[in-house]
Structures are given as C-alpha cells and as structure tokens.
Structure 1
Amino acid sequence: MKNMLITYSNRVLSLFLLCTFCYITILANDDVIYEEKDYRTSHWSLGVQGGLSFLDGDISQHEKELITFFSNPDLEWNVGVYGEYSINPLVGLGLEYRYTRMGQTNTAMQSGGDMHELTPYASISLNKLLTMSARQFKWNLLFKLGMGLGYYQISTESLNGTVAEKVTYGDLKGISLMLPLGFGYEYNVSENWAIGAYYDYRYSLAADLLDAKMAGTSNDGLHEVTVGVRYKFKAKKYPHNKNISWRLYRNKQLMRDVAEGDADELQMAALRLGAIKKDTLYIMESHKDTLYMVSNNYIKEEVVPQMQYSVYFATGKSDLQSSGLIDIAHVAEEMIENENLVVHVHPYYDRSGSKEFNLKLGRERAERVKYELIYVWGIDASRIKTYEAKVLLTKDDKIHYQPFRRCDLILEDTAKEKE
C-alpha cells in the first residue's frame, strides 16, 4: 500500500511540474503588445529548487539540532518549482509547488511519509530597500512569506514492541494549512539566469500530524535548506524587475507616462505646431504650458546637433523634471551600448539673479545630471565631464525663458578621434 502511494505521488508530481512549466511559459510570453516601447520592464520568472529538509515534529524534537543541520539523523529531501510575477523591483507575487519527504525516528517509534504543498507567496528584495540608487543589481537578498495548503500522508509504527500510550499508530493523511517563512540569496549570473541558496521554515497551522498523531503536542514544522536556479523571461529585451533598482524603475514609468500621455493634449499641440514657421523652436513640458520662441533670436540651429540632448530646469531649481529624466535615460542607453562614448555636460543660465548664484546653481545642475548617470544608470564617472556654467546672451535681457536654464549633454565618440 505504501509503495502504491509513493508511485501515485511521483506521477502527480511529474504531471504538476509539466503543467506548471507550460502555464507559466504561456503567461510569460503573452505580454508582447508593447515590445517596441523602450520604457518596458519584464516581470515573469520561473525557478526550481531542491535540497535537504528535516521535520521538527513530535517523535523527535530537533530545536537543538538546527545548528548542526547536516548531522541530523532524520534528514530527508525536497524539490520545488515556482512561477513569480515581479510587480516592481521591490515586490513579487508567486505560486510555489513543493514535494517534501518526511520521517522521524527515536528509540520507541518511527514514521515516514511525504507532503505535496501548493503555496501562494509574496517576496521582498531587502537589499533594494537600502540601496535604491544603484542601476543594476548582481545579487538579491529576498524575504518570502506565504500561506498555502499541504497534503500529507504518513505511516507510524512502533519499534522493539514498545507502544506509547499517547501515540496513534498506523497510516494518517490529511490537509494542513502551511505558513512558509524564509530568506534567500540570489546571484545574477546573467540578465536571464540567477542561482541562489535559500532557507525556509514551513510551519503547520491547521494540523499537527506531520510525523505522528501524538496527544498534547502542536508544534510541527519543516526546516529546509535548498539551492536553486531562476530563469527571468525577456530580461535581455527589457530590464527585468529582479535586476534593476527602484529609481531606474521609476524613470521607466515616467517614460511610459509621457509616451502614453493624454491624446487630446498631444493633438492640440500638433495643431499649434502646424501653424508655426520652420525657424521657430518648439518646447513642451509634459502636462505644462507650451512655449514658443524664435530660434534665430535666442538659440542658433547649430546648438542642437546630432548626439546632443538638453535637460531643462525650473527657475532657481536643480531638480530633474520628467522630460529631463527621459533625456538622461536616452544618453545613458547610448553610452551603455557604445563604451567609447563620453558625455560633456555644459550648464547654462539666463541673466536673472546674481552671477555668483547662477554659477553655483549651474554647478549643482551639472552635478545632478552626473549623479543620475552614475548612480541610477551605472555610467563610470570617468566618462562624464562637467563644465563651468555660462550665460546665454539674448537681444532682450528682460526675457527669461526656460531654454536658457538647461544643461546640454553632448556625446563624443573617443574611438573616432583616435582614428
């Protein structure tokens, strides 16, 4: 009877693993409608884990043996598979299936059996809560908490003819409410693949029968130490939320918001732009007033060549606006693709305020751009050159337009210079 149960369990396990893999793969590849938009991030991952476990049950209490885990006489094995959707770089939701062998022995009795467990869970990347400024992470420290159901079946028998009064012998099976709590360390071998080591304690909430039915006890649980591998879908095409920081994710969302802006506003802007002459510079801040100015009076056309971006600032401020974050993102992506590129950051100011104030503000704006490139996008500081702020001369000193409050980011290909 026991062999039949084990054979049946193995068949159920194989079928479940196959169905889970197919289902997660379909979900992971179903979201392809936004492939051409560079603000996308990828979310889905699939992983497998396996390792050693022991049951902290009633027949033999193992609290003192947790430190000497690998010398435990009742060590068994477990294997699991999971699919996870990373909502953002900090939080993920997943579904896990785990098969665990269980058994305990003392001088009077022994038990043996297994458990099939299905658990929805939430995971949190703890290291990203503390280091939000980094662009990309090679490792993750994970905290996991879930609640699921476990189907267990065990058989308890006496040894040497000894019969304990408080123990019910024979075959037992049932469903237990399980609470898994654990930590994991994962290292990103590549954009798609990660390897990890994990510890879980899976506490039995609704049943105390994981090794035997014993009167007066209610503290069954499973200690598990495992290793595993995770595959992150589409991570080479779009940055995966498991690999990036919260700040990079935020910038991606800003890019999405601008790209998916209000259609009526964009249509109105297009109508206005159609009525403007070719020598007029058109500048629009998202969800803000549109500003028109004659380019040959204030900014020459040569100032905006290819490989140049401009980041604009509010009066007296060095904070980056949404359009500035997007322009810096474009610069960073080009520098990541081409390691020979360096960027020259030239700050400018208008005639409002004192020269000393404007020079200081210009330095702050250039340093803010540099900080974003280094700590959000991971660009090496040696590839970023900042300069002293300069005033932009105008024909009318009383006019103060936002185009004068800016930093020009000029990309230079050092490889071409060497040629």
Structure 2
Amino acid sequence: MKSNLFKSLPLALAGLFAGTAAMAQEPATPTSTFRTWSIGVNAGALTPLSPLGGRNDFSNNKTSFGYGLYVKKQFTNYFSLRLDGTMGKLKGDNSEPFESGVVNTSTVSAFDTKLNYAASLNAVVNMFNIDMFRKEDALQLYTSVGAGLAGYKPTITTAAGTSAYAGGKTISELIIPVGVGAKFKVSDGINIDLGWTINFVDGDNLDGLYKNGNNDKYNYAYAGLEFALGKGKQLAFHNPVAATYDEALAAKNTANALKSDLDAQKAENAKLRSEMADLLKDTDGDGVADKLDKCPGTPAGTVVDGSGCPLVAPKPQVTVITEEDRKVVSEAIKNLEFDLGKATIRSKSYASLNRVAGLLVQKNFSLKLAGHTDNTGSKELNLRLSKERAESVKAYLVSQGANASRIEATGYGMGQPIATNKTAAGRQQNRRVEFTLY
C-alpha cells in the first residue's frame, strides 16, 4: 500500500524548488569567484526507527554501521543540489517489549537487512548566516529534502530458522530523505559535516515483514568531511548581507572623498563651456563652426564638406561602345580557333584576343562569352565542351590583364545553331564563341 506522502511528492518538491528559486534571485557576489563544487564522505549509525509517527514492526531496533559519500553543486549562498549515496546494514528483533510494555508476538523474531545502496538527489537549503555582519561564517545550518532509490536484501528469523526474504532478491523502492545538519568550516577547502536524515521508504518490506500497512523508515546519523573543490572562498559560507553592507559603506566613504573633487570639476567644466561657446558658434547651421567655415552663409539644407563648402556630386560615367570597339571584338571572333574536340586555343588567335584584352583594360568594359558547338557527339559532351571553351577564352583574357569579375563565360552546347548542321560549312559556323560587350 502506497503512502499519501508519496502521492504528494511532486507537489512538495515543486514547492521546495519554487522557494529556493526565489532565494536565488537575491543579489550575491558572482559565483565564479567562489568554490561551488564539493565532495563529501561520512560514516555513522543506521537505525530502523520511525520517530515521526507510525508503529515499528519490531520492538527492539538496533544501531548498525553505515557510510556514504556525496557530490554537491552550490548554486547560490542558500541553495545547492546534492547527489548522495549510502550503504550499510539495518537490524532489529523482538527481544524486548515495545515502549508501551506490549510484547511483540510476531512469528518473525528478528531481521537483518543489507542496504546495498541508497542513492538520492537532494535540494539543500542553508537556513541563515549566524552573524549578519560577518562576510564569512564558520558555522552553517541546513535542511535537505529529495528523492531517490534504495536497494536492499532483508533476511528474517523465525522459529524455523533464518531465511532470505523474497528469495534473496534485491528489493528496489523509492525513498524520500528529509534531513538537517550543521557544517563547521575548518579551512577554505575543508568542512566538518554533521547530519541526520530520516528516509521514508515507499514500501513495508525494509525489515522483511509486512505489518500494520505502514511504510518503513530508517535513520542515518553521521559525521564526515566535505572537501570544496577549486580556488577561492566557499560560496555556501559567504554572507551577501554583510558583503553588501561593507560595499555600501565603502561606496559612501568614496563618494564623500570625491565630492570636493567633483565640485571643482563642475566649476572647471562651466568655465570650459563658456570658452567653447564662441569656438562652436555656427551661424549658418551647416554643422561647421564659423572659425572653420570657408563658405559662410550656406543655404539651409545644403550638404557640405569638412570646410563648410557645398559638396558637388560626381557625374556618372557613361560607357560608350564605338564601332571601332565592335570591330576589335568581331575580328577576335573571326580568328578564334581551338584544337579539334578540345578547349585549347590555337596560337594564331592570340593577337586578336590580346587586342580585346587591351580594350577591356583601357575602357573597363564588361564582356559576355557564349560558347556553342555543332551537333557532332552527345548533348552532354557538347555542353561541357562549349562551357570549357568559353572559360578558356576568359582565362586567356584575364592572363592579359582583364578584370575577371567583368567577364562572364557560359556554354550553350549545340542548342543555339546559326547554320545548318547538315554541311561541313554549317557545322563550322556553329562551332563558335560569341563576344558581347556591354
């Protein structure tokens, strides 16, 4: 049977984290200057008791040795998350009556439970700093609550002898640890940690005996050492209230010390403003002071240069292509030849191409190169060959000084013939690279 405590677990944890999140909003010194990671080891007493209500299944609960370790991340001065692990044994028997004097008549006379593991994630809240006027305290009180999983193997003793509960299998149950503790800072990196945790088990089988329908509990009282990792002071022991008070006091003293200097600076600034007023005078409102304005009286709205004179917009350059230019290009087209089936330009074409390159450099023209082929061969081959020939012409012109960004090379393959492909003469005309100036 599940306890109401476990049904309300999501609500309880949500409330806890909401409260600690509110604490996290309080201003504090940046955590990068503090130690925020730590590890701890501890050892102490494990006891199967139920001090917060409910009746124990066994009348005589014994104390056994337990040990544990944890890893903790401190997020603010008040809040941290801690991953705990605990191991040990839990024992009890009916050799004595209950405190009320009632004798336990259960058929199970004793139990011995091996706690293989108890792992939990806990939210830890530092309650308060002992001295609000000290930046760092040596004592810190805290509370914790979390949730986790415990795995254990009970062994029970009856009149028939000792036997393993549940066939000796490890039982896994949800646990909710609730604890309090105190830490004493020995140095910037070491604390003494004293704590007590009540672990609420979501089951009535921790002692190998289902009785009364109550969930079992066990206590862990421990002492240990915590080692703060990194450099600097520990964030958990830092007192932001005292630090803020000291900072405010120091700021006040600094402000008083600087007040006379500030008054003197104000007087000096007033003197400079009166002296600069004449220097910054701008009668025509063009943004240039009169003392630097070479063109006073500029009409309102006129764009001026640094000397106060109107800016003259440069005339746009117009590219004009003459008949002579077209003749140079036409001659290059006529003389352009490639090796058969290749993109290699024959040397007899160099002279006319050199004149085209000179024209592009001199007049900064743009040029479009369009490669074409006849229908001999496949469509894919001709498309690639036409593109390569146009690129070959572009590469040659660029090697002669032409601007590569102003030359466009495109291949069209055999898709745009200007003559019939049924005759050798027609195919010769179709094998071409067209030049277009603009």
TM-score (norm 1): 0.46
Structure of greater Rg = 2
Q: Which has the higher strand share?
A: 1
TM-score (norm 2): 0.44
Report which structure shows greater RCO (CA 8 Å, sep ≥6). Answer: 1
